[in-house]
Amino acid sequence: MIKIGMMLGDRYEILEKIGTGGMSDVYKAKCHKLNRFVAVKVLKQEFSENVNFVSKFKTEAQAAAGMMHPNIVNVYDVGEENGTYYIVMELVEGITLKKYIEKKARLSVKEAVSIAIQVSMGIEAAHNNHIIHRDIKPQNIMISRDGKVKVTDFGIAKAVTSNTITSNVMGSVHYTSPEQARGGYSDEKSDIYSLGITMFEMLTGRVPFNGDTTVAIAIKHIQEPMPSPREYIPEIPISVEQIVFKCTQKSPDRRYQSMGELIEDLKKSLMRPDEDFVKIANPDEEASTRMITEKDMQQIKKQSRNRDSMEEEIRLRSDHNNSSGKKKRPKTIDEPRHTSSKKQEHDDDDDSKMEKITTILAIIAAIIIGVIVIFLVGRAMGLFNLSTGEKPQSTTTDVTENTSVAEDEKNGIKVPDVTNLSYAEAVAALKKEGFEIEKVETESDTVAKGNIIEQIPAAGEYAPLGSTVVLSVSISANAGKIRVPNVVGLSEEEATITLVEAGLTPGTVSQTTNDDPSLIDKVCYQSYSVGVYVEKGTVVDLKVSVGAGESTYSFVGNIESPAAEDDQYQAGSSATVILTTSNGLELKRETTTTFPLAFNISGITGAEDGVITIVYNVTIPGSTTTNENGEIVTTPERNEERSVKRTVKFAKE
C-alpha cells in the first residue's frame, strides 16, 4: 500500500496523490538520486495480481521508456516493490485536454489545430519506434502550464488491450476506431481515427457519437456516418472539417496513412484554412465495376482447368488407394469415360462456341441500339407520329415542342424550383416529378426555420427520373437576428465601429488585466460569444487590456480524511481543515465530520503552492499498570490533539 512519505526503489519519495484512473493511481514524488520531481503511476491491486498483464505491462512500459520527445510524457523508470508495480514518468504541471475543453466549452480553430499538430508529432515519434497508443483521447493528453502539449500512457494501453482487460479500464469508447470496436486488428491508423474524434471534440465541445451504453456507441462508430463539426460550429473552415473527416473514415485505407501526412495538412490549414485541399478517396470510384479483359478471362479459364486437373488427379489417387490390397471396384455408369486431354479439348470447343454466341449477341444488340437511335432522332425531327401513323405537317411550333421532348429524353427531367418553400411542400413537388429526396439540415440567417435554403441539382437543371435531389433545410430560427462578430484584438474604436456596422449597440468599456502582451490597449473581452445570434440592437460590453497584472491561482480539490496518515483517527469525529499559501496566508478554514471535503477557491495571489493542515483529536484509552514497588498505577483516558500537513499545487487562472 502506498503511503505519503514512503520511499519506492530507495529513491522516489511519495509526496502527494495527484490523480487516479481506472487502472492506476498517480503520485507526485521526488527522485533523490537526480534531485527532481517526478510522477509515479502505481498499478491498482487487481492488475498487479494478473501475471500476464504485469509481464506485458513491464515490456511495453520499458519500450516506451526508450522514447524521448517534447510532445510525449516521457517514461523514466519501471519498478516493483513488495508486489507494487509502478512507472516513473515526467511530471507535467498542468491539466488534461479533457478538463481544458470543459473549462473553455470549446477551443478556437487555431488553438485546436495547434494542439492537434503537437499531439500528432508525439504520436509520430511513437509510431516511428513501432509503438501504437490505442487509447488516444483528451484524458490522455496533457496541457502544461507553459502551453506545451504532451501525450501520456504510451505502451500502457497496448498492454491492457492485449490482455483483454475489461473495457472500463480503457476509458471511454467515444474515441475508439471501428476496427477496435469490432475487436479486430488495430494499427497506426487506429490512433489517427481517435485523434480525429479528439479534434472534433476540441472544435465543438462534444463527441460525435453518444449513447446509453458502450455497445450502442461502438455500433455508431462502425455504422453511422461521421457528423460534420460545421453542423455545430459553422465558422469552422472547410480544410479543418475535411481533415477531421479524413481522420475518421470507417475504412483505415481511406484515412491518412501516416501521422506525417496528417501533420502536413494541419499545417496547411493554418496558412490556407478556407482552401479545399484535403483529398479523400472516393468510395464510389474504389468500388466501381472493372471490365474483365481478355487476359483476365484467359487467366480465369486457366485456373478453372488447373482446378479440374487437380480434382481428376485426386480422384485417381483415391481410386488407387482404395484398390490397394482390395478387390477392384467395378466402374459405374456415372463415372467419367474420357481422359483429361479429351476433357480439355471439349472445354476448348465449348469456349469456341461461347465466343461465337457472344459475337452474334453483340451484333444483335448493336442493331437494336441503332434502330432505337434512328427512331428517337426521327421522332424529334417530326418524321413519326405515333398517334396516327401519318407524317405530320412541319410547323415552327412543332419543331420547338419536338426539340424540347428530345432534350427531356436525352438529359432527364427538369428539376422544379423549391427554394424558400416549406420542406413538406418541396417534397411533394419533387415526388410529383419522380425524384427521391435527401435532407440536410443547415443554419441560416435569412431563411425561416423549416424552409429550403438550397437544392442540388439547382432549379431548371435536368436530372434522371428517380434520382436524388438534396435539400438544405433551415434549422435555425435566426432569420432577422444578428450574428455577433469577433472584436477581440481590435482597438476600442475599431470594435465600436464593427459592432455598429453589424447592427449591435456598443455598451460599457472597462479596463482589465490580461497576460497576452499582443492585446495591450486592445479589446480582450466581449460580453457575447462570437457567432451567437442576438436581436438587433443588443448591447455588447467590452473590456480593454492594460497588460499583465498579478497572476491569480485557484485550488479545486477533495480533501481526504487523515486516516491514511494516522490510523487512530476515527471516522466521523470532528476535524478542522485549514488551507494556507506556502507563505502563511490563510485562505480557508472549515470544520467537518465528513470526508472527503470539497474546496473550491479562486483569486489566490502571491503564491503558487499551498499547505493543507488537518487538526483533530484522538482518544488515548486509559490503562492500569503495576510499578516496581508493587503499587497499582492508573492512567486515565485522555484526548490528544494531532495534525496532518499536505502540500498542494495551485492552478494558474
Angle at 44 between CA 40 and CA 50, to 5 degrees: 120
190 in Cβ contact with 179 (< 8 Å): yes
| Cell 503558487 belongs to residue | 608
Nearest to 566 by CA among 637, 647, 640: 640
Q: Are 424 and 451 in contact (CB under 8 A)?
A: no
DSSP for 320-358, please give it. Answer: HHHHTTSPPPPPPTTS--S-HHHHHHHHHHHHHHHHHHH
509: which strand partners? 542
Q: Are 386 and 413 in contact (CB under 8 A)?
A: no
- Peptide bond connecting 621 to the previous residue in cis, omega within 30 degrees of 0: no
Pair 487, 499: CB distance under 8 Å: yes
609 is an active site residue:
no
Catalytic choice (10, 25, 77, 135): 135
Beta-bridge mates of residue 19? 26
Where helices occur in 416-563 by DSSP H, the ranges are: 423-432, 492-501
Sign of CA dihedral 329, 331, 333, 335: positive
- Of 255, 263, 260, nearest to 279 by C-alpha is 255
**Distance from C-alpha of 479 to C-alpha of 310, rounded to nearest angstrom:** 75
Lookup: cell for 226: 461521421
Contact status, residue 190 vs residue 196, Cβ threshold 8 Å: no
Residue with cell 438534396: 470
Q: Would you state the cell numbers that stand for residue 426, as one nine-digit string?
A: 418541396
Q: CA dist 182 to 53, 176, 221, Å?
A: 22, 10, 10
Distances (CA, A) of 92 to 16, 75, 134, 205: 14, 12, 22, 24
Q: Could you tell me if 177 and 133 are in contact, meaning their C-beta atoms sit under 8 angstroms apart?
A: no
Query: Is the bond leading into 457 cis (omega within 30 degrees of zero)?
Result: yes
Kindly list the catalytic residues. Answer: 135
